[in-house]
Amino acid sequence: MRQPATADLRSTGWSHRLSTQHIVELDTAMTSVRRSPRPLLTVRRSDVPLPTLATELRGIAGRVGARDGFAVVRGFSAHRYNAHGLRLLLWAVGQHLGTPVPQTADGHMVRSVSAAANGAFSTGGSDVTAFLVTAAGARASFVCAESLVREVNVRRPDLGERLSGRYAFDRAEAQLPGKLPYRLLPLTCRVGGRLSMRYVRAQIEAAHARPGVPPLDRADVELFDLIDEIASDQRHRVDVSLEVGDLVLVDSYSTLHRLESDRANPQLLRVWLTLPAGRNLPNGFTWDSPGYGGNGGRGGVVSRDVTSLPQRGTATWPHLATAI
């Protein structure tokens, strides 16, 4: 009897709660940063010392990327911060998790996202996607890519053959001058026995609707319909009710995620992070973020208005038209 995808997500180990010591460390560090107003992107890891919490966060992020697929860290005191303070909080915590990379061509590093009533499952834009929950009513669902692919191959092996095929992913006009408005990427690849998956159906459909790009054929649509059907099946997903102040970490290669809510427009803040020791990926499945290099800055969006980007381990910082 086949096990559902939830069996591969180690669903009993996803929840973590900050200790009293961790909360005191974070509040002390954030109070110090907030005393001297400064552009958000100039706040570095050294400006937010977290002696024990940083080690805990790095351990959780490492396990998300190497094994667990996702995690929810609870106990952040979101109610103590205004809108800018919440962005600063996520940015500061993100510095201890990995390297943030831009999410838009305008250089946004921290973005507000909404949980929709009928959200779609997708993968993220860099090694790890981090969300900070800032309003009540949201919930998240997670699906193991390995189990999803296995289920596709069991149900429709003819469609499973297409999982390693290359598809165009739309860049939403974020490409640099002279570059194509889409990237050609395989849906899945396997390196060292580990499966990695990229799946954002809206981007694929938008790219293949462009002039000069071959349209999707019927089998492609059937494959995407099957992926969505399996991911939406309660037997193949882990659902988590989110609380204000939750920090959600999702591995962008092993796990698909969906945000939902029955309430009006609950907000979450999002950063895309690359891990210091991210998984091995072949050329053509990822891309470097200029100025970061290698595993310290792959994925994300190349910003049009960046005059300089931070090198790993240096004190140079981006000058962006939009700081957050």
What long-range pairs does 77-85 form, CB within 8 A, spacing at least 24? Answer: 77/23, 77/26, 77/27, 77/245, 78/132, 78/133, 78/134, 78/244, 78/245, 79/244, 79/245, 80/27, 84/40, 85/30, 85/34
Kindly report which listed range (104-108, 178-182, 192-196) carries the lowest average pLDDT score.
Answer: 104-108
What is the distance between the alpha carbons of residues 218 and 12, in angstroms, rounded to a whole number? 39
Tokens of 195: 């499966």
Q: With contact defined as beta carbons under 8 Å apart, do 250 and 258 qualify?
A: no
pLDDT of residue 298: 77
H or E segment and range at residue 70: strand 70-74
Q: Please report how the helices 83-97 and 53-63 are oriented relative to each other, as an axis angle in degrees rounded to 10.
A: 70
pLDDT of residue 283: 77
Mind listing the pLDDT tens digit for each residue in 125-173? 899 999 999 999 999 999 999 999 999 999 999 999 999 999 999 998 8
Going from the C-alpha of 52 to that of each of 29, 57, 76, 255, the distances in angstroms are 12, 9, 15, 28
The residue among 246, 173, 157, 167 whose CA lies nearest residue 199 is 167
pLDDT band at 322 (very low <50, low <70, confident <90, very high): very low
Query: Phi then psi for 183, rounded to 5 degrees?
Result: -115, 140
CB-based contacts of 181: which residues, under 8 Å, 6+ apart?
Answer: 170, 171, 173, 175, 207, 210
For the whole model, what pTM was predicted?
Answer: 0.89
pLDDT cut 90: percent of the chain above it: 59
CATH number of 8-145+236-296: 3.60.130.10
Q: With contact defined as beta carbons under 8 Å apart, do 102 and 304 qualify?
A: no
Q: With contact defined as beta carbons under 8 Å apart, do 79 and 244 qualify?
A: yes
Average pLDDT of every residue of the chain: 86
Q: With contact defined as beta carbons under 8 Å apart, do 105 and 302 qualify?
A: yes
Query: Residue 107 region, left (φ>0) first, then alpha (ψ -120 to 50), else beta?
Result: left
H or E segment and range at residue 108: none
The residue among 116, 109, 112, 118 whose CA lies nearest residue 132 is 112
What is the chain's alpha carbon radius of gyration, rounded to the nearest angstrom?
A: 19
pLDDT of residue 262: 78
What is the distance between the alpha carbons of residues 246 and 93, in angstroms, rounded to a whole number? 12
pLDDT of residue 313: 42
Mind listing the pLDDT tens digit for each residue in 258-315? 999 877 777 899 999 988 777 888 877 877 766 565 555 678 887 665 444 444 443 3
Amino acid at 304: R
Torsion of CA 209, 124, 257, 244, to 10 degrees: -130
Domains of the chain by residue range: 8-145+236-296, 146-227
pLDDT at 66 over 90: no
